[in-house]
Structure 1
Amino acid sequence: MTHLPSELEQAACTIEQRLQDTFKQSSLAPRLWEAMEYAVMGGGKRIRPQLVLASAALNGRGLLQEAALDAAVAIELFHTYSLVHDDLPAMDNDDFRRGRPTVHKVFDEATAILVGDALQTLAFETILQSQHIGYEQKVDILTVMTQAGGAEGMAGGQAIDLEHVGQAMGLTELEQMHRMKTGALLRASAVMGGIAGGLGRAQIDALDRYASHLGLAFQVVDDVLDATMDSATLGKTAGKDALAEKPTYVSLLDLDKARAFARKLHLAAIAEIKDEDHASFLLAIADRVVERSN
């Protein structure tokens, strides 16, 4: 496993603290806030918020820029909302996430639905109330995030996934589904970071292409890990895709070809930004995505 640069590890700790600070407030619905905190603070790779910070850092001002930190917190809240809803019995019906019971198992299904709803709106609120992001940047960031989560992004990809349980799917269709379900939010993370960092259009477009390749690589690696790792290592139930008869890159290509495809996508991703100044953090994240074990 590639180790992240120490600066990125330190930034991850800052993200963790900012997320924790989100829940330091009184509430008229304490059980809901408890469940929201449980969902968000249960660990995780935090790749999306790290992508935000690493993308903003292309401006040469380092990782810990306040505007980017606010965007990083927002994208992790938004991502966690999607995980809570995906785990529900009506969706992927998973009992474990990040190595512990899912929200609907610890609390109940109704609370889990409300947790997802509340985390999604809290993500929007985080951007809107930021004192460090300009008005036009807020509009652009919210546009990117909402489009990534909508019917042409994450939600649409999940719908296609559910529709194809037990059904044949070609590689082209599988790629489109995962570019929506998984890739859209990773692309959004990189672009949001570029916007928060005040980058120009050419750099933001390069980040978008980088994250497009990386997002698909992330899903291919997920499919490989689902077929090769145990539940304890993954932190979630292993082998569920095969049991649910869901099409995956492993089932369509075989294990070795799926791994080779992930490596090809990794190279394509780094080619997009390797000549950029201050791209070392993005390169390290790309390495981590394809070399991870969970």
Structure 2
Amino acid sequence: DIANASRPMTQQEFDTCRANGVNDIVELKVGYDGIVIAADRGAPDYQFRLPHLYLALGANVLRGGKFVPNPYTNWNEIGPGLPNNRILVYGPPPTSGTRDAFVELGIEASALTYPTARALRERDSDEFKQMTHPLRREGWIDSGENDNAIVQTLTKTPGSLGVFGYSFLEENGDKVKAMPIDGVAPTVATIAEGTYPLSRSIFIYVKKAHVGVTLGLQEFVTEFTSDAAAGRGGYLQSRGLIPLLPPEHEAVKAAARAMTSMSRPD
């Protein structure tokens, strides 16, 4: 009846739906989320630039215009102003949607700041992903799906960093702090505006053919997008969702009531 997504549907996914008889899909953007890079509150501040993420955490990085196995061990080797700490980052495993989003928004976007990587993507997108998406085995540690466990690890492991959702930063602000990226700190405002580089939109996709067949589906979608649920101060905000800006929220409510089918993505 409904699929959740932390990015928009692709053309290929839309076409696959059509090929399998799913012809009317309702796309509803329900809010935002942010991915943070955080450390224990007593840790030094890291002034990250976006390219630092790829250089520090990619399994293969660019040196002299060629991809080589990542040679860096300490943060100060990556860029000026970063502390002389070992690169040690705890984050979600490959099965996690947060991991997918971090790779796309952080690692891939970081790699694309280099002309060689941009040229490779234009020439062969599959090879580009093979070279840029894998994370290093030493320096990146898969820590399971439990973001609270990552927070606890940071408080016990001096010099380490963690990658997790913004809601866990809010819940643990007395224990950990987030690092800015390109001078922008993750906040509700910067994530909603999209100025924080690791911001993502949260969607639900509704199979329109099931409205009126699956009991309560229309009512559920209407409630999900209501002011009381997804609006500012709504109960989903207390569960970690960052609400849409008011004009967007009004448009989504209207689309949910009308069950407006989406067009093929650009």
| TM-score, normalisation: structure 1 | 0.22
Determine which structure has the larger helix proportion and give its number. Answer: 1
| TM-score, normalisation: structure 2 | 0.23
Considering Cα pairs closer than 8 Å and 6+ residues apart, tell me whether 1 or 2 has the greater RCO: 2
- Larger radius of gyration, structure 1 or 2? 2
